[in-house]
Amino acid sequence: MKKENMLIIGSGPAGLTAAIYSARALLKPVVIAGIVPGGQLTQTSDIENYPGFVEPVGGFDLMTAFQKQSERFGTKVLYDNVVSVVFSGTGPHEVSLAGGEKIQALALIIATGASPIWLGLESEQRLMAKGVSACATCDGAFYRNLPVAVIGGGDTAMEEAIFLTRFASKVTVIHRRNQLRASKIMADRALQNPKIAFEWDSVVEEITGQNEVDGIVVRNLKSGEKKRIECKGYFAALGHKPNTEIFKGLLDMDDVGYILLKNQSSHTSVEGVFAAGDCADHVYRQAITAAGMGCKAAIDAERWLESKHKT
């Protein structure tokens, strides 16, 4: 079985920043690229708030640059998923990959991020990828001159709705309250966009269509009235849940599954196991904060290795 100094699970801003720092510390990190290589940013449109970029930068381009920078210092990236882990005392810890490989690591950094939340409707499953999506950047171009619906009232929903107006004939936002959760700047942009309509105080009861989406049935929570809205695309934008299932019962987590960190460090409840980014942060969840957490995890792991294993 291969034995590594440092294994990083996840290749979003947190994982790749940890890789840059630990590669520059000559720890030869191995990154398991994870559920979505490059993380959630590869599924977003232009990023305007990542410091250092005067003009907007594409999420995919930014993450490609992170990866190339990490590889320049000797990071190895494996395109595989972790299916299980075995933590043993102060390590080495063992990681099993979907491809069958097992790897031991003295230090492990978990940066598995978070995944989109769905409403949980049967019709969401049935029509998945047949008009049902959680990524406007990935699928928006399929809806040229067609009506679409976006579900949710947060920044993701506003960003997706605004992005979709590039293609769609009309974008209807369905929100369960009459006030948006989104930041004021994003909310104002969406509210002022003539192609975006809002269904307030409303929930989606069903997505209709035989082989592809042709509409949604929404219910107004105040009046109880139901109506059908014609749309060819259904975009869930309901927030995210942490990708931490494989660590359940092995690491201390909160009720929702976010990994708990010790004090203000990146140390988890298991020695030699560190966490960074959205899998351990339900508050900020920004690319820049995830990158900062990745940096902290690499430094914590490096110091821990130095004290315990003298690499």
Judged by CB under 6 A, the residue of 126, 176, 308, 309 near ligand NDP is: 176
- Assess 113 for contact with ligand NDP (CB under 6 A): no
Judged by CB under 6 A, the residue of 94, 124, 139, 159 near ligand NDP is: 159
User: Minimal distance in Å, beta carbon 35 to ligand NDP?
Assistant: 17
- DSSP assignments along the chain, one per residue: -EEEEEEEE--SHHHHHHHHHHHHTT---EEE--SSTT-GGGGS-EE--STT-SS-EEHHHHHHHHHHHHHHTT-EEE---EEEEE--TTS-EEEEETTS-EEEEEEEEE---EEE-----HHHHHTBTTTEES-HHHHGGGGTT-EEEEE-SSHHHHHHHHHHTTT-SEEEEE-SSSS--S-HHHHHHHHT-TTEEEETTEEEEEEE-SSS--EEEEEETTT--EEEEE-SEEEE---EEES-GGGBTTB-B-TT-PBP-STTSSB-SSTTEEE-GGGG-SS---HHHHHHHHHHHHHHHHHHHHHHT--
* Beta-strand relationship, 273-275 and 102-110: parallel
User: Minimal distance in Å, beta carbon 207 to ligand NDP?
Assistant: 14
260-299 residues near ligand NDP, rule: CB under 6 A: 285
- Assess 119 for contact with ligand NDP (CB under 6 A): yes
- Assess 38 for contact with ligand NDP (CB under 6 A): no
Tokens of 81: 């998923």
B/e letters for 189-217, b = 16+ CB within 10 Å, e = fewer, are bbeeeeebebbbbbebebbbbeeebebbe
Judged by CB under 6 A, the residue of 239, 269, 289, 308 near ligand NDP is: 239
- Assess 189 for contact with ligand NDP (CB under 6 A): no
Question: Which uninterrupted H or E stretch holds 157?
Answer: helix 155-164
- Taking the least distance from each CB to ligand NDP, the nearer of 119 and 250 is 119
State the catalytic residues. 135, 138-139
User: Minimal distance in Å, beta carbon 194 to ligand NDP?
Assistant: 21
- Assess 12 for contact with ligand NDP (CB under 6 A): no
Question: Which uninterrupted H or E stretch holds 133?
Answer: strand 132-133
- Assess 34 for contact with ligand NDP (CB under 6 A): no
Looking at residue 268, the DSSP 8-state letter turns out to be -
User: Minimal distance in Å, beta carbon 220 to ligand NDP?
Assistant: 13
- Taking the least distance from each CB to ligand NDP, the nearer of 139 and 300 is 139
- Assess 49 for contact with ligand NDP (CB under 6 A): yes
Q: Which residue is nearest to ligand NDP (CB)?
A: 154
Q: Which stretch binds ligand NDP (CB under 6 A): 19-27, 122-130, 176-184, 224-232?
A: 176-184
Build a one-symbol-per-residue string for 200-219: x at contacts with ligand NDP by CB under 6 A, - elsewhere.
---x----------------
- Assess 154 for contact with ligand NDP (CB under 6 A): yes
- Taking the least distance from each CB to ligand NDP, the nearer of 88 and 183 is 183
Judged by CB under 6 A, the residue of 153, 215, 292, 294 near ligand NDP is: 153
Number of residues that bind ligand NDP (CB under 6 A): 18
Q: Which residues would be at the binding site for ligand NDP (CB under 6 A)?
A: 49, 119, 152-157, 159, 176-177, 181, 183, 203, 238-240, 285
